[in-house]
Structure 1
Amino acid sequence: MQPTLRTVRVDGLSLRIRTTPGPGSPASPRSPYVLVHGLGMTHRYLDRLRAELAADAVVHTVDLPGYGPGPRPRIQLGVEDHAALMVEALGELGVRSATLVGHSMGVQFVTEAALQSPALAERLVLIGPVVDRLRRTVLQQAVSLAHDTLRESASANRIVLGDYLQTGTRWYLRQLRSMMDYPLERAVERLRCPVLVVRGGRDPVARRAWCQELATRAPDGALVEIEGQPHVVQHSAAARVAAEIVAFSRRTALPS
């Protein structure tokens, strides 16, 4: 089913949220999924995952201010700012509790949202998390990203390049500074909800040791690897990633 697009204005900034209905008559209501993109990206590379998860529950896909079409904010927005905007926008749509799913820099956004609004985050799914604390330089990240490009499918690379061009170099670089500075490894230690870390088995950006460290640092964390897949694993192996997320959601659901 096609998603419904709504634009929510928060503090003069626009967030575009696409909502895809879940199953028609589930036996018991399930909390929604909220999907959040990474640096330079939009909802588009999350569309395959969105479609898979919509078989289980309602899915909201967020485009944050400055990403995709439309004007760029005149002010600098850090990870904390984006998280606060997202929490408020979801609240305006009536989303009070959800499974928050982020990819790459989107991991930072959903982690910070969970810290700012613990009631919103029933659980977190961190796909291809950045930035590895042992590889926290722009050069190291650029080399890893270039390496990953050679492992991605043509369709994934087309989406990534198209979104990068649309977002633009200036906004990308402004956001890059925030991404590099965010201490994800310390943030996950403060989480109060279950955490699932997901990585592609051939992801050179989010490496195994780093992902295992995050899962271990989280008070209630687990790691899943999708064998043979690169960084944009939610696009290349959407069905497998969705199955892991749904299983995690059901495994950590509180009794009604």
Structure 2
Amino acid sequence: MAFARSNGIVLHFRRAGRRGGPRIVFANSLGSDLAIWDEVADALAADFDLLFYDKRGHGLSEVAQSPNGIADHAADLVGLLDHLGWRSAALCGLSVGGLIAMELAVRAPERVERLVLMDTAAKIGTPEAWNTRIEAVMQRGVAAIGDQIMERWFSAGFRDTRADAFAGWQRMLERTPATGYADTCRALRDADLTGAIAGIAAPTLVIAGEEDQSTPPELVADTARRIPAAAFRTIAGAGHLPCIERPGEVASLLHHFLSSTVAAKGDRLGRERAASSAGHPGPGPHFQE
């Protein structure tokens, strides 16, 4: 296990894959740890240099002493990259991890080579819903909402056919520190990057699980429409965590997108969109390759 102090927080992280290969950083969802990427890592390890970490308040990382926002999470990631001597990398963010990745792509674009956004959106949920969840967790712990969250995380097929794995992932969720979980809920409640993501220049792939109930595909697709050079994909039979339900498909999409030919195509799409939408504010066409 490896740890580093970043932005005042001790973060747990793991390296995998081929040192010297193209670099990818993976940012996790609310209530999960870096184990959610294990099978994706196995499929990509031969060709990529992989970095996984537990965000503050999750897994083995430290819980902050005061509430934090998405900007704090992004600063944590920058500090971790600096610790490793990584000037830039591709970012793959799931759910709140996607918001962290978008924040970094907007605020420090030189650090982001390419962007993969999975089951996320520029704005997730309502203040009322997040406040209700925060109150429940702080009063009764994460286990109090465990059943509800798991129903939203996983497809019916996964719940029915992989009961043992389903139970194991529920234990991961329910072991998240209540304070760390609630603080991240506050960050999600207060985050709205809707107006900012039109400035993202990095080639971007946006992925949605077809059966996701936490960030439904139509919400994820709306975020894709707002980002220049963004391609959108859905993964059939997957819920909010396609990296667990369909790791082979996720790895295949990432491998293809992160190849040089796809990156060049993304750059071309960005130029074409910029030319066609000149003088017309707001989201442009939705690239479904």
SS at match of 1:167: coil
Structure with a larger share of its residues in helix: 2
Q: Does 1:200 align with 2:200?
A: no
Against the structure 1 CA distance between its residues 242 and 31, is the aligned structure 2 distance closer, same or farther, given a 3 Å change threshold? Answer: same
Task: Map 1:95-244 onto structure 2 (within 5 A).
Answer: 95-130=86-121, 137-138=128-129, 146-149=151-154, 151=156, 152-153=158-159, 154=163, 157-244=166-253
- State the superposition RMSD in angstroms: 2.7
Aligned residues: 246
Calculate the TM-score normalised by the size of structure 1.
0.85
Q: Which runs of 5+ in 2 are unaligned?
A: 134-144, 268-289
Residues 111-120 or 96-105, more deviating: 111-120
SS at match of 2:60: coil
Task: Map 1:62-81 onto structure 2 (within 5 A).
Answer: 62-69=53-60, 71-81=62-72
Q: Which amino acid is 1:90 matched to? A: L
- Alpha-carbon deviation of 1:148? 3.9
Calculate the TM-score normalised by the size of structure 2.
0.76
- Alpha-carbon deviation of 1:120? 1.5
| Distance in 1, Cα, partners of 2:48 & 2:165 | 25
Q: Does 1:61 align with 2:57?
A: no
Residues 121-130 or 205-214, more deviating: 205-214
- Alpha-carbon deviation of 1:116? 2.6
| Distance in 2, Cα, partners of 1:62 & 1:89 | 9
CA distances 1:168-191 after superposition (whole Å, capped 9, x unpaired): 223212211211221133332221
CA distances 1:81-131 after superposition (whole Å, capped 9, x unpaired): 010111121122011221100111110111112223211111111111046
1:26 — aligned with what? none
Q: Which amino acid is 2:4 matched to? A: V
SS at match of 2:3: strand
1:17 — aligned with what? 13
- Alpha-carbon deviation of 1:72? 1.9
Q: Which amino acid is 2:240 matched to? A: H
| Distance in 1, Cα, partners of 2:153 & 2:32 | 16
- Alpha-carbon contact 2:11-2:60 (below 8 Å) kept: no
- Alpha-carbon contact 1:156-1:235 (below 8 Å) kept: no
- Alpha-carbon contact 2:102-2:197 (below 8 Å) kept: yes
Higher CA-based Rg: 2
Q: Which runs of 5+ in 1 are unaligned?
A: 24-28
Against the structure 1 CA distance between its residues 219 and 210, is the aligned structure 2 distance closer, same or farther, given a 3 Å change threshold? Answer: same
Against the structure 1 CA distance between its residues 228 and 99, is the aligned structure 2 distance closer, same or farther, given a 3 Å change threshold? Answer: same
- Could you tell me which of 252, 255, 272 is aligned with 1:246? 255
Against the structure 1 CA distance between its residues 224 and 52, is the aligned structure 2 distance closer, same or farther, given a 3 Å change threshold? Answer: same
- Alpha-carbon deviation of 1:48? 1.3
